[in-house]
Amino acid sequence: MSNHRILCLGAGEGWHASELRRASGRLGCDFHASSYESLQATVEPDGLGMRCEAGEMKDFDVVLARTMPAGSLEQITFRLAMMHESQHRAAEPCRAGSGLGAAARWSAKDRGSSEPVVSVETSGQMGFFPPVVNNPRSLELAIDKFATLSRVSQLGYPVPETHVAQNRSDAMEAFESMGGDCVVKPIFGGEGRGVMRLRDSELAWYAFSALDQLSAVFYVQRFVPPGGRDIRYLVIGEEVIAIRRRNDSDFRTNVSGGAVSERIGVDLAQHEMATVICRSLGLTYAAVDMLEGERDEGCVIEVNAIPGWKGAQRVVEEPIAEKIVGLLKSAAQNSNVGAR
């Protein structure tokens, strides 16, 4: 087949998009970026059409889902529904006038049967939609910090004590039960946005009051000292790259916030932990973040299904974007899209 055509949703025109575009060129792929806001669909009797500003979805071989911007509940639901439909039809393509459906009709009898049966008539050419990396169901699960942490705990890996509540009183009770030192973060979101450490009861009351006014969910975690130290396990297929991050001036370890990174080795147990967690969530490209405690004990803090790698690339010699594009090529080849 011709060069793989990669559609990247939500990449924008920043550093990550540039890295993916260059890597795609080196690996013989065509890279196209589009916004989530441009997604649209048409449902007709003879099939389904889905498109974006980069073109018809069926003309691409694989979709990479990057960060989805904020929107109304209906907008987010529709964007996810389009990705779900593309993933479903990549796995189970069927015949129709546009390759996107089948016409069903009722017949009164079938070979003497007294019960009506459904017979399916198809026509036209085979049509395909591209698979999505990561799988939309996995994205929905991994974007929820509570659901993700619960799954990690079920697998038997250590996690920090975490309380999730829906009102200020329960959040305050959780704060007091943790000795008055906790980290509060949005249940959705990443990159350290909206994350705060609370060590004062009065400040906690005001913070929880503000969140209560926003109808937010209270995601309250026990602070794990000393703070500002973690290891990010970047998982790309079966490969695991480990990056230790340290920030001496803040408990958060985002490189954009001043953290310093270094690449470290990955032993068999660490490799197994990272890949088992990702497989459990259905993720093929993700980051597993583990806090480092004062006595080198660690606990998994969260799993990121749409990780950036700008900070990691500074300490990794090989181009990480090429590894991601290689994963996308494999996803296309392993799906029915590869049969076009």
Domain count, the chain: 3
Examine the domain organization and report whether 165 and 209 are in the same domain.
yes
Q: Check residue 296 and give its pLDDT.
A: 64
The average pLDDT across 158-168 equals 96
Residue 90 lies in a domain: yes
Examine the domain organization and report whether 149 and 238 are in the same domain.
yes
Examine the domain organization and report whether 13 and 152 are in the same domain.
no
Examine the domain organization and report whether 153 and 167 are in the same domain.
no
CA distances from 25 to 4, 242, 325 (A): 10, 27, 10
Residue 253 lies in a domain: yes
pLDDT at 1 over 50: no
Examine the domain organization and report whether 40 and 95 are in the same domain.
yes
Examine the domain organization and report whether 182 and 239 are in the same domain.
no
| 333 contacts 29 by C-beta, under 8 angstroms | no
Examine the domain organization and report whether 245 and 145 are in the same domain.
yes
Examine the domain organization and report whether 25 and 81 are in the same domain.
yes
Residue 313 lies in a domain: no
Reported pTM: 0.87
| 299 contacts 319 by C-beta, under 8 angstroms | no
Question: How sure is the predictor about 273, in pLDDT bands with cuts at 50, 70 and 90?
Answer: very high
Of the residues 203, 223, 243, which one is the last residue of a structural domain?
223
Residue 73 lies in a domain: yes
Looking at 89-93, 148-152, 180-184, which range is the least confident one? 89-93
- Domain containing 289: what range? 135-158+226-305
Residue 233 lies in a domain: yes
The average pLDDT across 292-305 equals 87
Examine the domain organization and report whether 239 and 198 are in the same domain.
no
Residue 314 lies in a domain: no
- Phi, psi at 226, each rounded to 5°: -90, -10
Type of residue found at 164: V
HSE (side-chain half, CA atoms, 13 Å) at 190: 21
Q: What is the CATH number of the domain that holds 97?
A: 3.40.50
Residue 311 lies in a domain: no
Examine the domain organization and report whether 205 and 293 are in the same domain.
no
Both structure tokens of 339? 């049969």
Q: Check residue 233 and give its pLDDT.
A: 98
Residue 23 lies in a domain: yes
What's the pLDDT tens digit per position in 165-187? 999 999 999 999 999 999 999 99
Q: Check residue 137 and give its pLDDT.
A: 95
With vertex at residue 158, the alpha carbon angle to CA 154 and CA 161, rounded to the nearest 5 degrees, is: 95
pLDDT at 131 over 50: yes
Examine the domain organization and report whether 234 and 143 are in the same domain.
yes
Percentage of the chain with pLDDT > 90?
74
Q: What is the CATH number of the domain that holds 172?
A: 3.30.1490.20
Of the residues 205, 223, 241, which one is the last residue of a structural domain?
223
Looking at 18-27, 115-124, 198-207, which range is the least confident one? 115-124
Q: Check residue 125 and give its pLDDT.
A: 37
Examine the domain organization and report whether 174 and 219 are in the same domain.
yes
